[in-house]
Chain A
Amino acid sequence: AQSVAQPEDQVNVAEGNPLTVKCTYSVSGNPYLFWYVQYPNRGLQFLLKYITGDNLVKGSYGFEAEFNKSQTSFHLKKPSALVSDSALYFCAVRDAGGYQKVTFGTGTKLQVIP
């Protein structure tokens, strides 16, 4: 079975400070990992994904994520937070070799304080 955990329901960060949204995963094989963002009453928008290769993945809106195989983590980061980054962020995982669908985390609400 595959699973993904987002240990923080909410993250608060001051505008201009670096932000991190945490994600850990569990799969039996190699993982495909994704981050999505959701604004209120909207669908999820794709931010970035890790398939293979470089452990640091760059995505949309200045976000990046670091894949750490030994810690089974895929934390989302941004060097300088904007108020407009305030939203709900979802981490998702899929076993590269299995038959299961994508599993989503429960989401982390990011609040950027002006």
Chain B
Amino acid sequence: DGGITQSPKYLFRKEGQNVTLSCEQNLNHDAMYWYRQDPGQGLRLIYYSQIVNDFQKGDIAEGYSVSREKKESFPLTVTSAQKNPTAFYLCASSISEGDRSYGYTFGSGTRLTVV
């Protein structure tokens, strides 16, 4: 079955450490997104990519970085510059940004905790 796989499910980060969250999709979707979810705040867009080798900052990109070297993969790195990284991170994909009526398909999320 097609879908989005996020790994790991749980991740623990020490102060000052960079960590990378994996997101892989086999839906042949062009567009991919990273969201951060905090209680009571809904979903906030971190980064998005419309096509391979291209990505743009979302609303809360500071302290995060991404790459899009393959269509299937869109990893997110949480750097030491992100001062409050504890959150639930969701990866999503869509056929393309041009098809605005298409909804998003989400992965099952990664819960990141600073220890």
Contact = CB atoms under 8 A, between A and B. Distances in A.
Contacts of A41: 9, 88, 108-109, 111
A58 to B, nearest CB: 15
Nearest to B45: A101
Nearest to A34: B103
B7 interface: no
A42 B109 contact: yes
B58 A101 contact: yes
Interface in A29-69: 32, 34, 36, 41-46, 49, 51
Interface residues of B, number: 25
Interface string A5-48: 00001000000000000000000000010101000011111100
A83 B77 CA distance: 38
A106 B42 contact: yes
Nearest to A48: B103
Contact of B40 (A9, A45, A90): A9
Contact of A43 (B42, B45, B103, B107): B107
B36 to A, nearest CB: 11
Nearest to A95: B100
B106 A104 contact: no
Nearest to B3: A43
A4 to B, nearest CB: 9
A96 to B, nearest CB: 6
Interface string B99-115: 01101111111010000
Contacts of A94: 100
A63 to B, nearest CB: 14
B106 A43 contact: yes
A90 B106 CA distance: 13
Q: List the 4 closest pairs (A to B, CB-CB), nearest first.
A: A43-B106, A106-B42, A104-B43, A44-B106
Given A101-B58, A104-B35, A104-B42, 17 more contacts: A32-B101, A34-B103, A36-B103, A41-B88, A41-B111, A42-B108, A43-B109, A44-B43, A44-B90, A44-B92, A44-B104, A44-B106, A95-B100, A96-B100, A101-B33, A106-B41, A107-B42
